[in-house]
Amino acid sequence: MSELIACHECDLLTRLPELPPGGCAHCPRCGCLLQRDRPNSIEKTLALSFAGLVLFIAAVSFPFLAMKAGGFEQHSNLLTGVWLLLEQKMVLLAMVVLLTCVLFPLAGILGLLYVLLPLHFGRRLPRAEVVFRLVSHLQPWSMMEVFMLGILVSLVKLGHLAEVIPGISLWAFAVLIFVLAAQAAVLDPHQVWERLEALR
């Protein structure tokens, strides 16, 4: 029997037909996309998650930026901004930056690895459903793109005051943004839920 699914826009319950490779299903009432077939979604997402983890480790481990002016050179890493905000007693802002630019993206990567790696081998770990649901809720709060935009604006403004030298961490962080975007694009949540249900 075909799967019964509720439209995300108008809540119409619809029997979801079996999709051909690369096909998609739309709501018969409002035309909203219900599901798109993404071949090898779990394997592709898993590969991008591993790549994202490597890039994240590089982003927090190496120098982010270096500023050189008057013979003086100062290096900073990804967490320097958080420490500076804490030193200026802006605790709430520091926590927002730490959560949205560091902890939430890391939790999303590790959460997907926790769920998808066992699924790839036909297994499921305890509380996998809870972890996957948490990853879905955290995804909108990951704001690395906003952080990167702020860095680019700062580079433009500081360019005439000092020589700004991008570090390895900056390039890793920039590539990480695209990797996480690709990860979100290839992930098929329906396929993950079906695999989790089948292994219950």
With a cut of 70, say whether residue 57 has pLDDT above it: yes
Provide the CA 56 distance to its chain's centre, in angstroms.
11
Location of structure tokens 């499921």? 124
More confidently predicted of 69 and 103: 103
Q: Name the pLDDT band for 2 (thresholds 50, 70, 90).
A: low
Cβ count near 190 (within 10 Å)? 17
Structural contact between residues 11 and 30, judged by C-beta atoms closer than 8 angstroms: no
Q: Tell me, what DSSP letter sits at residue 73?
A: E
Residue with the bigger pLDDT between 76 and 125: it is 125
| pLDDT (mean) for 111-134 | 94
* pLDDT above 70 as % of the chain: 95
Q: What would the DSSP string read from start to end of 80-126?
A: HHHHHHHHTT-HHHHHHHHIIIIIHHHHHHHHHHHHHHHHHTT---T
Whether the predicted model's global pTM rises above the 0.85 cut: no
Contact 171, 104 (CB under 8 A): no
pLDDT tens column, 10-53: 888 888 877 787 788 888 889 888 888 888 889 999 999 999 99
Give the residue among 114, 123, 121, 130 at the shortest CA–CA distance from 199.
123
Q: Which two tokens stand for residue 145?
A: 């793109």
